[in-house]
Structure 1
Amino acid sequence: MPDQTVLSLRDITLSFGPKIIQKNISLDVRKGSIFAVMGGSGCGKSTLLKSMIGLLRPSAGEYHVGDENYWAGDEAHRTDLNHRFGVLFQSGALWSSMTVGENIALPLQMFTDLKPSVIRRLVELKLGFVGMLQAIDLYPSEISGGMCKRAGLARALALDPDILFFDEPSAGLDPITSARLDDLILNLRDGLGATIVIVSHELPSLFHIADDGIFLDARTKTPIAHGSPRDLRDNCTDPQVHAFMHRERDEEGKT
């Protein structure tokens, strides 16, 4: 795997007014990696993701996308960088008044000059990649939650981004559907060479797909561990990280 940093944060502070959510966040996301943002409820995982996709400006610190300082330029500069991003929101976030195909076509209509026939073909390709071509003319209300997640993923891929952000992609899915989504995420990394940042608290998913990560602590409002979920499970001695990483085995009486 190339040891090339595509995203880097240095001494980032995230806050809403005087309320600090997290501080002293520094991390590097390597090209082709699946980087996990971990931690308990309320620690700021989704807030960090929002900042990384440009929805929340940090109170302090620097954020680089490749060699570009994300917040140093103007809005047009950030828009250009955002075209490198694809985002899968927690609910799928499909427009209910549009068909699945129309949802995937929307970014192509907004940001390219492609003909409708070409856009239709690209939509078919993206939906085919996630196994959703049969739903191209259906509305979100006519498909399952797992299918909505895959359709949201197809939309995230519409502009061929090289960096993907996923917010709790397995939330609300049954174990079999969740495992299939994990395999699809691995295919994105291996087949397309995408770099992926994922927010999740689903341990089976994290252990299966993530090869690097950061653990955020709600109490200290700082990161307290770095490394892959498997490494943190097996080697981290911090009691909070240990409890988080072993919670399912504890609940099952296996430790």
Structure 2
Amino acid sequence: MNDTNTQMPATDDRPVMISVDDVTLAFGSKVIQHDVSFRVKRGSIFAVMGGSGCGKSTLLKSMIGLLRPTHGTYLVEKDNYWAGDDASRVRIGRRFGVLFQSGALWSSMTVGENVALPMQMFTRLKPDVIRQLVELKLGLVGMLHAIDQYPSELSGGMRKRAGLARAMSLDPDILFFDEPSAGLDPITSARLDELILNLRDGLGATIIIVSHELSSLFHIADDGIFLDADQKTAIAHGSPRWLRDHCTDPMVHAFMHREQLDSSSSAGNG
């Protein structure tokens, strides 16, 4: 990604929070992505973009510790995540909060119990303190009123917000979101975007977001990479707005403008 038309000029002097270098992800002999490298700055909302099947969620799984890369390094500040032992990965992973695409709430637990679970598992806080913290987290996402409700009683947007409250349960400084706007109506999606911005600004969190929802990405993301399913690597780097306005790669241009990629351009990028 050295071409100036596929890489945004480097003007961000914030410290690096996450470094991904020459990472290859594969299932057996099937390579999903190879030689992927990028930096995520502290306080950034970093977008992992690309069409269906390009490996966005697979990359996210590797970054949160669910899939060991075949090759390459993944640093969280100066800590090499996959080079350490299990205890080291658990320690680093305590810095993460994850919002899965479906919210992934336990259906047999109330919203409050879902948010409390990480605190019960990983801290020695007393029940009354945990209850206070649960109320605080739910209040941050506008879900305090649903503390005693079950996930089945919530709308899709409410489940996403409850999942976000649980992701923040242990006060992580890095948040990972997998398709947070998927399945939401435009108004609910816009509200979730504003919530993500407020959390970044209020908590100083670094956010990595996997999404193909362009309106959301243009609004909230300040940096990102574009993964290509054919070339199986990252072919462009920059904010979604910059890629929309300046990137000349045919695949990226077609994606950012919701255009059909003509056969001649596609053949040249296969």
What is the TM-score of this pair, normalised by structure 2? 0.91
Selected match of 2:180 from 144, 169, 183 = 169
Runs of at least 4 residues of structure 1 off by over 2 A?
none
The Cα of 1:56 is off from its aligned counterpart by 0.3
Whether 1:105 aligns to 2:116 is yes
Q: Is the 8 A contact 2:99 2:167 kept in 1?
A: yes
SS in 2 for 1:207: helix
Are 1:36 and 1:212, in contact at CA under 8 Å, matched by a contact in 2?
A: yes
Which residue of the partner structure matches residue 256 of structure 2?
245
Once the two structures are superposed, the pairs formed by residues 193-232 of structure 1 within 5 Å of their partners are 193-232=204-243
1:95 Cα deviation from its structure 2 partner? 0.1
* Alignment partner of 2:191 out of 171, 180, 183: 180
Q: Distance in 2 between matches of 1:31 and 1:192?
A: 12
The answer (yes or no) to whether the contact 1:100–1:138 under 8 Å persists in 2 is yes
Match of 1:85 in 2: 96
Q: Which amino acid aligns with 1:243?
A: A
Question: Tell me, what secondary structure is at the counterpart of 1:247?
Answer: coil
In structure 1, the gaps of 5 or more residues are: 251-255
The 8 Å contact of residues 164 and 197 in structure 1, kept in 2 or not, is answered as yes
* Match 1:72 to one of 57, 80, 83: 83
Q: Which amino acid in 1 is paired with 2:55? A: G
Once the two structures are superposed, what CA deviation does each residue of 1:82-119 show, in whole Å capped at 9, x if it has no partner? Answer: 00000000000000000000000000000000000000
Aligned to 1:29: 40
Separation (CA, whole Å) in 2 of partners of 1:170 and 1:249: 23
Corresponding residue of 1:234: 245
User: Following the alignment from structure 1 to structure 2, what is the Cα–Cα distance between the partners of residues 54 and 188?
Assistant: 23
1:95 to 2:97 alignment? no
Inter-partner Cα distance in structure 1 for 2:256 and 2:83? 37
Root-mean-square deviation over aligned CA pairs: 1.3
Q: Distance in 2 between matches of 1:143 and 1:43?
A: 31
Q: 1:9·1:63 contact (CA, 8 Å) conserved in 2? A: yes
CA contact (8 A) 2:109 2:150 kept: yes
**What TM-score results when the alignment is normalised by the length of structure 1?**
0.96
- Quote the offset at 1:61 in angstroms: 0.4
Q: Tell me, yes or no, if structure 1 residue 140 matches structure 2 residue 154.
A: no
Does the aligned pair in 2 maintain the 1:100–1:135 contact within 8 Å?
yes
Aligned to 1:18: 29
Following superposition, the deviation at residue 3 of structure 1 comes to 1.2
Match of 1:253 in 2: none
Supply the AA of the counterpart residue of 2:24: T
Structure 1 residue identity aligned to 2:226: F
State how far apart, in whole Å, the 1-side matches of 2:128 and 2:60 are. 34
SS of residue matched to 2:82: coil
CA contact (8 A) 1:215 1:223 kept: yes
Pick aligned residue for 2:60 from 42, 46, 49? 49
Q: Any gaps of 5 or more consecutive residues in structure 2?
A: 1-11, 262-270
